[in-house]
Chains A and B, each alone.
Chain A
Amino acid sequence: MPIRVNLDVMLAKRKMKSKDLAEIIDITTANLSILKSGKAKAIRFSTLEAICNALDCQPSDILEYVEN
């Protein structure tokens, strides 16, 4: 998929564990893992908003368009 999820990069920058982020944004670690691995088909605005809020970043820091 041409949309890359850079969530692991942002987590490393903020020195935050996946489990902690999952707890803060109120989603399961399994779903967060799907999001990190790029297997997710879509992301809700509410989830994106919660991630940006928790990691203090912009949507563009998490999602990146990569040409095939």
Chain B
Amino acid sequence: MKDKINILTIITYGVILSSISILLNDMREFDFNQFTAFQNWAKAANKTDPWFTSKNAIKWSFYVISAALFFWRGYLIYGFSYFLSILKEIEIGNYFSDKNSKSFKKIGDIFTSYAASVLILRFLLASIGKSTFNFFQEFKTELTILIPCGLAFYILAELFKRAKATEEENELTI
């Protein structure tokens, strides 16, 4: 049992580290100099011009939304760290602890909020004309996995809560 937990912990660490390295690489490839260009534009821009029609402002919105997408990906990786917490609890024998139930709920929250936020942000990206957005195409790809996974974690959280109550009842049966 302990060997399996150790293997799962190593796999989880591998997933977290590779996700972080992919995210950092994507951030490295992202052109952050555009933010400086926007700041320079903002200083020189004519304040009487309508904000939304400005080409630079639209461009800036694209970078802000892209940065938000990076943030949500980071948040999703943070969600993976809860697996380590669950594995640690299992290792010490607290299978149905409150901590595990809360961790499963938290992972469910992160997965569903990530899926919903990414969907909204990609829609916004499409609306400012920087990407192609097809609602059904989005659902076909990663969101079809993340939303059911999030729901599965909510179900697991509820199951663990019930299991804890049953375990307590069993312990108090003389």
Asked if A43 CB lies within 8 Å of chain B CBs, one says yes
A42 proximal to B (CB < 8 A): yes
The stretch of B34-42, B102-110, B166-174 in contact with A is B166-174
B residues near A34, Cβ cutoff 8 Å: 172, 174
Within 8 A of B (CB), among A1-56: 27, 31-32, 34-35, 39-44, 47
**A and B contact pairs by CB, cutoff 8 A, 23 listed:** A27-B174, A31-B174, A32-B174, A34-B172, A34-B174, A35-B174, A39-B172, A40-B172, A40-B173, A40-B174, A41-B168, A41-B169, A41-B172, A41-B173, A42-B169, A42-B172, A42-B173, A42-B174, A43-B173, A43-B174, A44-B173, A44-B174, A47-B174
- List B contacts of A47 (CB < 8 A): 174
Residue of A nearest to B173 (CB): A42
Query: Which residues on the A side are within 8 Å of B169 (C-beta)?
Result: 41-42
Task: Tell me the smallest distance from the CB of B50 to a CB of chain A, in Å.
Answer: 69
Collect the chain A residues with CB atoms within 8 Å of residue B174's CB: 27, 31-32, 34-35, 40, 42-44, 47
Q: List, in ascending order, chain B residues with CB within 8 A of A31's CB.
A: 174
Q: How many A-B residue pairs have CB under 8 A?
A: 23
The smallest C-beta distance from A4 to any residue of chain B, in angstroms, reads: 15
Centre residue among B168, B169, B173, B174 by max chain A CB count within 10 A? B174
Q: How far is the CB of B170 from chain A (nearest CB, A)?
A: 8
C-alpha gap A24/B173 in the complex (Å): 18
The interface bits of chain B over 151-174 (1 if a CB of A lies within 8 angstroms of the residue's CB, else 0) are 000000000000000001100111
Query: In the complex, what residues of B have CB within 8 A of residue A41's CB?
Result: 168-169, 172-173
A67 to chain B minimum Cβ distance, whole angstroms, is 23
Q: Write out the residue numbers on chain A whose beta carbons fall within 8 Å of the beta carbon of B173.
A: 40-44
